[in-house]
Amino acid sequence: ASLLPLTGPTAHPAPDNRLRDEKRAPPAQNRATSETQRSPEPTSSPQTTPKAAPTPVEDGVAIPSFSLAADESSDEDDEDRLPPPSFPALNSAQRTSSEPTQTGPSLMAPPPKPTVMGPPTRPSSSLMPPPPRIVPSNLRALPKPSDTMRVPTTGPLPNRRPPSSNGGLAPQPTGYPTVNTSNARGKVLLTPGHSPLDWANLQRSGKNLSGVSSLIRVTPAMLKHNNGRKGRPAWSSYQGKVYNITPYLPYHPGGEGELRRAAGKSGEKLFMETHPWVNWENMLGECLVGIMVSEEQTGSLEDMD
Ligand code: HEM
């Protein structure tokens, strides 16, 4: 109750209220003069619905009796003050500084709205400054992580051997790096015309690369016999399929010698140990001789049925 009179009469100078009351109607004048003095007027003032409330309010305020009286007085004050200061004043200054005074007017319809409005404006202003600050800092920080990312690309890859000078990106449909480079260290130098692209073109040429007219059943003895020696073709099996690796020998990026290690037997283990990422079925599709069968099973696959 003690705070209420401060906000009412002090915050809003008496002359303002008086002027307003004078403009509106004569009863207002009576209020201004007798607000502090007259206590019984509230009963008489209620006759005019809007103005009746305000007069008793101030009277109630002057009397430090109960909160109920204070509430009524605050309501009356608000009605008189509504036009100029009501919403802005309540939102910004009043609530932050003095909440108890507003608790009285909170009973009125307008207060709840400003209560909601007040908080968002302040946090929004506080939130706004950080984003511009953070943005530039982040932009500057980005190049640093990118630099860190560059390190692994420039350095050797875990599963890759040192890349060739050419990089072998352009001519290869399969994505394998070219090997015909003199700068490469420990890299097998393939003879000209034996790049992976050349091999791909050869497979598409329609030439018979398998050495057989049709797929055949290959026994272990047959596989062992065709080991690439003494003019015999080099066969190698992978997952039960037998391929004639003879035409591929000069194209093998790992070198002919390495590939020959798999001749006459299953090269699957060596293959998977060296480059499990290579798709041999695509690389040697045209070199397919047949499938592995038991020793008793021989002849053409067409005859099996
Ligand atoms: C017949 C099936 C094979 C095919 C189709 C084949 C294909 C390839 C291909 C495409 C590459 C290049 C891979 C790359 O650089 O990422 C390569 C590299 C290599 N291959 Fe094979 N390969 C076969 C069998 C073998 C076998 C049986 C061995 C070992 C006994 C072998 C040893 C190597 C080695 C050492 C390299 C590394 C070459 C280098 O990085 O300079 N390959 N092979």
Same structural domain for residues 202 and 123? no
Ligand 1 and 288: CB distance under 6 A: no
Ligand 1 and 265: CB distance under 6 A: no
Q: Is the pTM of this model over 0.80?
A: no
ipTM: 0.92
- Which residue among 127, 150, 185 closes a domain? 127
253-301 pLDDT tens trace: 999 999 999 999 999 999 999 999 999 999 999 999 999 999 877 766 6
Residue from 176, 274, 277 whose mutation best tests the ligand 1 pocket (most atoms within 8 A of CB): 274
pLDDT of res. 85: 45
Percentage of the chain with pLDDT > 70?
Answer: 37
Whichever domain contains 291, its CATH number is 3.10.120.10
Ligand 1 and 253: CB distance under 6 A: yes
User: Measured from the CA of 277, which atom of ligand 1 is nearest?
Assistant: 16
Rg (CA), the chain: 48
pLDDT at 186 over 80: no
Listed in sequence order, the residues at least 6 apart from 110 whose beta carbon sits closer than 8 Å to its beta carbon are 78, 82, 86, 87, 90
100-152 pLDDT tens trace: 444 444 445 555 554 455 555 554 444 555 555 554 444 454 444 444 455 44
Q: How far is the CA of 253 from the centre of ligand 1 (A)?
A: 6
Mean pLDDT of the residues in the chain: 66
Q: Using CA positions, which residue lies closest to atom 4 of ligand 1?
A: 280
Distance of alpha carbon 295 from alpha carbon 293, whole angstroms: 6
Is residue 161 a part of any domain in this protein?
no
- E runs forming strands in 174-267: 216-218, 235-238, 241-244, 265-266
Distances (CA, A) of 186 to 152, 163, 179, 258: 21, 10, 11, 13
From the CB of residue 253, how many other CB atoms can be counted at a distance below 10 Å? 23
Same structural domain for residues 116 and 28? yes
Beta-bridge partner residues of 234: 227
Beta-bridge partner residues of 227: 234
Q: How far is the CA of 65 from the centre of ligand 1 (A)?
A: 100
pLDDT of res. 62: 55
For residue 221, what are the domain limits? Answer: 196-304
Q: Using CA positions, which residue lies closest to atom 11 of ligand 1?
A: 253
pLDDT of res. 254: 96
